[in-house]
A and B are shown apart, each in its own frame.
Chain A
Amino acid sequence: MIGILWQVLEGALERLSALTTTYLPPLLAGLAILLVAYGIALAARWLLTRIFKGIAVDRFLRQSGISSMLTRSGRLRVTPLVAAGAYWSILLAGLLTALSAFDSRVTSRMVEAVVFLFPKLVIVGAILVAGLWLAQYLGRSTLVWAFNEGLPWPRRLAAAVRALVIFAAVVIAADRLDFGRNIFLAAFILLVGGAVLAASLALGLGGREAVRRYLEERAGRRESEGERSLWSHL
């Protein structure tokens, strides 16, 4: 009986020893890597906050219109943004390196998946930022144009243009990630096609008279402006 107990205990101790010898060194190594990465991340954040004032980048973001796209209130402060970006990037890299220290199938697959997805995620991020920028730019162009042309609901028109461009960017991004490619594409085609068809039907059936009246009024207004406009702005 004692012999059996001893055997069980010996087996448990062997398994514990095997587990310890298998996982403890990589765990310790992983923790050490994480600790070092955390230290580097903190140092990088401190350094960037101190020495990189972000003036030139601030100016670039403002001049390119990106800051007004990303923040509606206040101004976009680049220094903390860049510092936080560097901090989290270093932490993520540290975490991946720490995981790779285990050299197990699961961790290897996780690391591989992240490494494989990372370039795609960067590209998708760039597509989404470009889409947002374009949506903002075209939205504002539509807003100002519609207002100066005297069209009704300029802000709604601008919002529609923004939504369409952002949706197009999302479709392209999803396509890059092979994520719901057909669903997004079909939805996009349905949306655009539906909008065009609805507008055509509305104009052709219901709104013909209204559009005619509107155009006549507009032409009349232009004409009377011309008659009255004996003054020059210049």
Chain B
Amino acid sequence: MATTALPENVLGAGREVRHAEIVIGIPSYNNVRTVAHVVRAAQAGLAKYFPHFPALIVNSDGGSTDGTREAVLSTEVEDAHLLLLSSPLLPVHRLSFPYHGIPGKGSAFRLIFRIAQELEAKACVVVDSDVRSITPEWFDLLLRPVLHAGYDLVAPYYHRHKYDGTITNSIVYPLTRALYGLRVRQPIGGDFGLSARLIARYLERDDWETDVARYGIDIWMTTIAIAEGFRVCQSFLGAKLHDAKDPGADLSAMLHQVVGSVFTLMQEYEPVWRAREGSQPVDLFGFRFDVGLDPIEVNVERMLDAFRSGCEELREIWALALQPDTHAAIRKLGCEASRNPQFHLEDELWARVICEFASAHKKRPVERGHLLRSLTPLYLARVASFVLETQSLFSVQVEERIEHLCLCFERLKPYLLAQWDSDAGTETEVKP
């Protein structure tokens, strides 16, 4: 049991609240622009859909300096009539704490889960504090399957811009689906409904001080739920419009944390994914509808520059992970990237790259950091290829392209197993 005691101020606040059947957790870091809207939506959702459930909203803050915590504590739903409620809104307890330990979303979640467990909550919802499109209905959709249908994890299902969520679309969704056989479309969506049983399981684990403390938390939660046989479903939440996660955030660190968590969990759950073939759809709740999305500007040329430069500078590291033919194909692509306006990184080549990096991550523990951080230009090449390929496509067609990539990952699972099991080093010759 890795759970440590809650800080005294949290315990004191918990004693005051005594019991809550629903806990809504909002991790934050300098989100004063959007957090009040999220808190209002949470309060309204609780009042409208769960008026008889004692509830608590917890803000777990990473040391914001822009007044995020004050905004959480002072936000009120001004007018009950707007929500068409027959009874006046009851005040919902709100708490805001700075969390301690490794700075990151995972550490924020850990505090929220410990409070939920302490208060013996039946269900917990965590939502990002940067979401602008959140509505009270999100809380109904994320809580109801847990409270009334016995699900343990409710993953989000949104409409996102075709260029949004690129780590999800190019790596995490196809790989998770191929490995564990469940089509959870947004495994790192950030907004989840959770049962008490699943929260207890999370808190039992002792890997909170790893990348899980940071951006690795979402895929960690989803993977554990799927691999350990918890009941998983999805809820359609509409559009996901949000502020930039952290404009200053280092992409390679983010990629490192997310992909590193996927690869690490692959080792733990090897017996589970080894036995699974193909994939199954997951129950989806909510009424699906089309929504308009913010336009997104993407600088393809800069991504291709990074890839070209990576081919030149990082070949020594890539040689540790990639098979000779894969490495040669990537280098050829890098040489052609500047001349070819129709740059295209094929699905199969991309899937092979990911399979080989996953295997190298297992076989070369000392060099894991180098391998994961060197993945950034390859990932940017894949994103650039995807953007060029889908620039004139509508969202339905884009979804078909992602489905094609997922099937490619599923088809290459025997290749992944062969790479995973081979004891030979993969080091390829590096010519000066």
Task: Using known A-B contacts A75-B424, A231-B164, A234-B218, determine if residue A140 contacts B370 with beta carbons closer than 8 Å.
Answer: yes
Q: Which residues of B contact A141 (CB under 8 A)?
A: 369-370
Q: Which residue of B lies closest to A228 (CB)?
A: B297
- A118 contacts chain B at the CB level, 8 A cutoff: no
Chain B residues contacting A234 (CB-CB under 8 Å) are 165, 167-168, 188, 190, 215, 218, 245, 254, 258
Q: How far is the CB of A103 from chain B (nearest CB, A)?
A: 49
Instruction: Check B251 for interface membership: any CB of A closer than 8 A.
Output: yes
Q: What residue of chain B has the Cβ atom nearest to residue A67's Cβ? A: B425
Among B164, B243, B309, B316, point to the contact of A143 (Cβ < 8 A).
B316
User: Is the Cβ of B298 less than 8 Å from the Cβ of A231?
Assistant: yes
CB-contacts of B312-338 with A (<8 A): 313-314, 316-317, 320
**In the complex, what distance in Å separates the CA atom of A234 from the CA atom of B187?**
10
Interfacial residues of chain B within 232-255, with CB under 8 A of chain A in the complex: 242-245, 247-248, 250-252, 254-255
A184 CB to closest chain B CB (Å) equals: 29
B344 CB-CB contact with A under 8 Å = no
A59 to B363, CA, bound (A): 8
- Assess whether A58 is in contact with B244, with CB atoms less than 8 Å apart: no
Would you give the shortest CB distance from B107 to chain A, in whole angstroms? 17
**With the chains together, A154 CA to B244 CA distance in Å?**
29
Give the residues in chain A near B215, CB-CB below 8 Å: 234
Report the count of interface residues on B (CB-CB < 8 A).
53
> What CA separation (Å) do A165 and B370 show in the bound complex?
18
A73 within 8 A of B: yes
A74 CA / B215 CA spacing, docked (Å) = 36
Q: Quick check: B366 and A143 within 8 Å, CB to CB?
A: no
Complex Cα distance, B165 from A24, in Å, reads 85
Across the interface, do A75 and B425 meet the contact criterion of CB distance under 8 Å? yes
Q: Which of A53-79 contact B (CB under 8 A)?
A: 55, 58-59, 62-65, 67-68, 71-76
Select which of B167, B373, B425 is within 8 A of A148 by beta carbon.
B373
A62 B251 Cβ-Cβ under 8 A: no
User: Which residues of B have CB within 8 Å of A137?
Assistant: 366
- Residue contact B367 to A65, C-beta cutoff 8 Å: yes
Q: Whole-angstrom distance between the alpha carbons of A74 and B244 in the complex?
A: 44
How distant is the Cα of A230 from the Cα of B164 in the complex, in angstroms?
8
CB nearest to B314 among chain A residues: A147
Known interface pairs A222-B248, A232-B164; A74-B427 also in contact (CB < 8 Å): yes
Mark A162-177 against chain B: 1 for CB-CB distance below 8 A, else 0: 0000000000000000
B374 within 8 A of A: yes
- A interface, size bucket: 35 or more
Q: Is A178 an interface residue (CB 8 A)?
A: no
Asked whether any CB of chain B lies closer than 8 Å to the CB of A155, the reply is yes
Whether A144 contacts B370 in the complex (CB less than 8 A), given A226-B244, A234-B188, comes out as yes
Asked if B299 is at the interface of the complex by the 8 Å CB criterion, the answer is: yes
- Distance, CA A59 to CA B425, complexed state (A): 9
Please report the C-alpha to C-alpha distance between residue A232 and residue B166 in the assembled complex, in whole angstroms.
Answer: 7
Flag if B366 contacts A63 (CB, 8 Å).
yes
Tell me, rounded to whole Å, the shortest Cβ–Cβ distance linking B238 to chain A.
17
Nearest CB in chain A to that of B295: its residue = A230
A62 touches B314 (CB 8 A): no
Known interface pairs A144-B370, A231-B163; A62-B363 also in contact (CB < 8 Å): yes
When distances are taken between beta carbons in the complex, the residues of chain A under 8 Å from B163 are 231
A185 to B70 Cα, complex, angstroms: 59
CA distance A58 to B190 in the complex (A): 41
Q: How far is the CB of A106 from chain B (nearest CB, A)?
A: 47
Contact with B along A88-114 (1 / 0, CB 8 A): 000000000000000000000000000
CA distance A145 to B252 in the complex (A): 9
Q: Which of B201-220 contact A (CB under 8 A)?
A: 215, 218
> Which residue on A lies nearest to B188, using beta carbons?
A234
Task: Report, nearest first, the 7 A-B pairs whose CB atoms are least far apart.
Answer: A226-B247, A73-B429, A75-B425, A65-B366, A148-B252, A229-B244, A144-B373
Q: Can you name 28 A-B residue pairings with CB atoms under 8 Å?
A: A62-B425, A67-B427, A68-B427, A73-B430, A74-B427, A76-B425, A140-B370, A143-B313, A143-B317, A144-B314, A145-B373, A147-B309, A154-B313, A225-B247, A226-B247, A228-B297, A231-B296, A232-B164, A232-B242, A232-B244, A233-B167, A233-B245, A233-B251, A233-B254, A234-B167, A234-B190, A234-B218, A234-B254
Contacts A143-B313, A226-B247 supplied; 9 other A-B pairs, CB < 8 Å: A58-B425, A68-B425, A68-B427, A71-B427, A73-B427, A73-B428, A144-B373, A231-B163, A233-B167
